[in-house]
Amino acid sequence: MTDTHKATENQQLLHLVFGGELVDLDSVTFTDLSRLDIVGIFPNYATAQAAWKAKAQATVDNAQMRYFIVHLHRLLDPHTHAHG
């Protein structure tokens, strides 16, 4: 785990987990935006990754289904983390 994924007790590093069925595996174009699965918003990377893994494993039989983790904390305050 890198430093960007660690949070202090008083700091929330919000992460969104969502997924859906892709048109093809070479893009991130969803077949139906109204059917996106918004798993939730999590207070740190570790809990987001656990939710992502559970959803990914539960949908393993559908090759077109993909789940993603979005680092909301970077979007909310882009100056808090250096891009690397």
Using the predicted structure, report yes or no on whether residue 81 has a pLDDT greater than 70: no
Domain boundaries, the chain: 12-76
Query: pLDDT tens digits, residue range 20-76?
Result: 999 998 889 999 999 999 999 999 999 999 999 999 999 999 999 999 999 998 888
pLDDT of residue 62: 94
Helix and strand totals (H; E) in the chain = 2, 3
The CATH topology of domain 12-76 is Alpha-Beta Plaits (3.30.70)
pLDDT of residue 25: 87
